[in-house]
């Protein structure tokens, strides 16, 4: 649909809504239209302006589920949404004016009330009766805000809301057994830096045109460590991080998470490691800890341990302080969880590290990438002073798609949303050789391969050595919001993708 045609349809739909609000005999129907479409326009145009796409049914659930995080990000977004805010206010004012005009209108139609009610209820009822009806599952950008909102809300109330409340899923459950124990571990101290929202597409070490990763680039030039691009396990932290620490290959492995059969913290403890999960993120956004095996974590800390406020994160440099206090003479499995490049980008790097400027979202995102590079350098410097054998690993939970005016995550439209870095460095020759054997032949590494490699360093068998195919979950652990299967094309380094729902 061309832009002129799109605008034309938008105007027509807006006039129809205004006509129903003004002349429907039912005040309830008129008020419902004012409230529903005012909220719909606000949500859809805010989402479009900042993220570049319409809000999906699952996004509505995430809005409710992650309200604290959304509030923080929403406040940071306001400065970038001035045009959209004006448009939203004009539309909402027009609907409100129509509602006030109905008080002066003597000609009201009962048939119009019935039509308006049918228009709102038709798609939810149809989707409840026909679960294979795909309309609204993934909003199309060529649709207007009105059409998108009707489809999206219908699927949310017909499918997403009941499925999430009742725990239903159309995706076949996946379960993988625990790996076999082979030895007591190849490294005394294993430090896993869990990055946040860092896409490899914006890293100089992988060819980005700005020097965002000087230390990693130096490591690559000197052949110090394995540096590869990888695929995240999911599009959101609450998906990919549980997948990573439970060695999950594909969606709907909830039983595997609950049982902890392949949980890395559990496996580490079985081989005598002290386990640590140290997060710079705010506690209110760490619901994922219930799914990563917190019951097998000996030493847990998050930002509230420092601030006393569950809504206040700390700077990633705090991870270095926590790391320095761990007894390196013992066997340790340490996860350092960053704020990294999470929205709002501007607060993820200190003023002294704003090397790319501060005038737009992209510059602030690049600053956060550069700051993460400096954090990794500092962690590496600390490890090189440790006694015994150590191994450093780094990846990110997912990526981002960022421009000067928009940024965000959570869809398969942009590969930068699931392209992530992988970095492995060790002073143990056996670990270095093992990393090369597992990953050198792979153009990109799937997240489950990295999980299995960590298990291998912990002293277990590796059941996921192939990079020929793999999965990226969408917005839910179950995969019901859609998940991507990637298959490597013969004799190439390219992957073919397909979105699945079952």
Choice between 35 and 106, residue whose per-residue pLDDT is larger = 35
Using CA atoms, how far apart are residues 122 and 114, in angstroms rounded to an integer? Answer: 12
Identify the burial level of 129 via C-beta atoms within 10 angstroms of its C-beta, where 0-12 means exposed, 13-18 middle and 19 or more buried.
exposed
Predicted confidence band at 83 (pLDDT cuts at 50, 70, 90)? confident
Q: What CATH number has the domain spanning 189-500?
A: 3.40.720.10
**Could you give the residue ranges of the DSSP H alpha helices within 24-160?**
27-51, 57-65, 67-77, 82-101, 110-129, 145-155
pLDDT value, residue 59? 82
Higher-scoring residue by pLDDT: 160, 347: 347
pLDDT of residue 334: 99
> Kind and range of the H or E element at 349?
none
Residue that is written with structure tokens 């595997």 in the block: 256
Residue 198: per-residue pLDDT: 98
- 3-state secondary structure labels for all residues of 440-495: CCCCCEEHHHHHHHHHHHCCECCCCCCCCEEEEECCCCCCCCCEEEEEECCCCCCE
In this predicted structure, what is the pLDDT of residue 52?
74
Using the predicted structure, report yes or no on whether residue 294 has a pLDDT greater than 60. yes
Q: Which of 468, 376, 385 is nearest to 422 (CA)?
A: 376
Is the distance from CB of 403 to CB of 361 less than 8 angstroms? yes
Q: Which residues of 422-441 are buried (b: 16+ CB within 10 A; e: fewer)?
A: bbbbbbbeebbebbeebbee
Mean pLDDT score of the chain, rounded to an integer? Answer: 91
CATH 3.40.720.10 residue ranges of the chain are 189-500
pLDDT of residue 318: 97
146 or 222, greater pLDDT: 222
Q: Is residue 439 within 8 Å of 226, Cβ to Cβ?
A: yes
Flag whether pLDDT at 2 surpasses 60.
no
**Burial of 372 per CB tally in 10 Å (0-12, 13-18, 19+):** buried
Please give the average per-residue pLDDT across 261-287, as a whole number: 95
User: 70-84, 92-106, 255-269, 369-383 — which is least confidently predicted?
Assistant: 70-84
Kindly state the tokens that stand for 229. 């691009």
Measured CA to CA in angstroms, residue 251 lies from 29, 79, 329, 476 at distances of 41, 37, 38, 8
| Top-confidence range, 132-136, 146-150, 158-162, 347-351 | 347-351
Is residue 76 scored above 80 in pLDDT? no
pLDDT over 90 at 261, yes or no? yes
CB 51 within 8 A of CB 267: no
pLDDT at residue 132, as a whole number: 61
6, pLDDT greater than 90: no
**Contact (CB, 8 A) for 417 and 397:** no
DSSP symbol at 158:
I
- Say yes or no to pLDDT of 476 above 70: yes
User: What is the rounded CA–CA span in Å between residue 229 and residue 235?
Assistant: 16
Average pLDDT over residues 135-162: 81
DSSP code string of 168-196: --SSPP---PPPPB-SS-S-SEEEEEEE-
- Cis before 141? omega within 30: no
pTM over 0.95? The answer is no
- What is the pLDDT averaged over residues 179-202? 98
Give pLDDT, residue 72.
Answer: 66
pLDDT band at 254; cut points 50, 70, 90 = confident
Instruction: Average the pLDDT over 372-394 and give the result.
Output: 97
What is the predicted pLDDT for the residue at 134? Answer: 66
Q: Which residues have a Cβ under 8 Å from the Cβ of 132 and sit 6 or more positions away?
A: none
**Any idea which of 165-169, 206-210, 243-247 has the lowest mean pLDDT?**
165-169
Rounded distance between C-alpha atoms, residue 7 and residue 3, angstroms: 6
Q: Which residue has the higher pLDDT, 325 or 173?
A: 325
Distance CA 49, CA 62 (A): 18
Burial class of 501 by CB neighbour count within 10 A (0 to 12, 13 to 18, 19+)? middle
H-helix or E-strand spanning residue 424: strand 419-426
């Amino acid at each position: 649909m061309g832009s002129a045609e799109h605008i034309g349809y938008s105007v027509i739909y807006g006039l129809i809504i205004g006509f129903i609000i003004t002349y429907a005999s039912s005040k309830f129907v008129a008020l419902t239209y004012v409230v529903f479409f005012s909220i719909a326009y606000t949500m859809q145009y805010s989402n479009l302006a900042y993220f570049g796409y319409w809000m999906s049914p699952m996004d509505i659930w995430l809005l409710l589920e992650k309200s604290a995080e959304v509030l923080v990000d929403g406040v940071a977004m306001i400065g970038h949404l001035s045009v959209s805010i004006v448009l939203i206010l004009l539309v909402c004012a027009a609907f409100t004016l129509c509602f006030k005009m109905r008080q002066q209108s003597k000609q009201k139609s009962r048939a119009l009330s019935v039509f308006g009610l049918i228009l709102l209820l038709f798609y939810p009822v149809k989707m409840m009766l026909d679960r294979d009806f795909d309309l609204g599952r993934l909003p199309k950008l060529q649709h207007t805000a009105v059409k998108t909102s009707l489809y999206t809300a219908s699927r949310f109330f017909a499918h997403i809301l009941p499925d999430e409340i009742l725990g239903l899923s159309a995706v076949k459950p996946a379960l993988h057994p625990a790996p076999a124990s082979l030895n007591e571990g190849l490294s005394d101290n294993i430090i896993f830096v869990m990055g946040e929202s860092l896409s490899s597409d914006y890293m100089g070490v992988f060819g980005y045109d700005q020097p965002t990763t000087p230390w990693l680039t130096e490591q690559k030039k000197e052949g110090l460590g394995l540096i590869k691009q990888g695929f995240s396990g999911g599009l959101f932290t609450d998906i990919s991080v549980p997948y990573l620490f439970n060695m999950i290959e594909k969606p709907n492995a909830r039983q595997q998470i609950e049982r902890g059969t392949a949980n890395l913290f559990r496996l580490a403890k079985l081989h005598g490691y002290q386990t640590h999960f140290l997060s710079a993120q705010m506690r209110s956004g760490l619901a994922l800890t219930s799914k990563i095996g917190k019951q097998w974590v000996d030493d847990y800390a998050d930002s509230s341990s420092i601030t006393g406020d569950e809504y206040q994160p700390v700077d990633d440099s705090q991870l270095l302080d926590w790391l320095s206090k761990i007894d390196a003479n013992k066997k340790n499995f340490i996860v350092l969880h960053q704020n990294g490049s999470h929205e709002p980008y501007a607060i993820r790097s200190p003023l002294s590290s704003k090397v790319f400027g501060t005038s737009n979202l992209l510059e602030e995102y690049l600053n956060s990438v550069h700051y993460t590079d400096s954090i990794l350098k500092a962690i590496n410097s600390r490890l090189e002073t440790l006694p015994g054998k150590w191994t450093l690993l780094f990846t990110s939970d997912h990526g981002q798609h960022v421009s000067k005016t928009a940024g965000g995550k959570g869809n398969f439209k942009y590969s930068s949303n699931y392209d992530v870095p992988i970095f492995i460095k060790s002073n143990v020759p056996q670990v270095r050789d093992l990393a090369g054997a597992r990953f050198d032949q792979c153009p990109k590494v799937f997240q489950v391969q990295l999980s299995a490699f960590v298990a291998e360093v912990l002293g277990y068998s590796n059941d996921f050595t192939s990079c020929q195919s793999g999965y990226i979950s969408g917005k839910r652990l179950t995969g019901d919001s859609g998940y991507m299967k990637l298959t490597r094309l013969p004799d190439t380094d390219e992957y073919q993708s397909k979105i699945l729902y079952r």
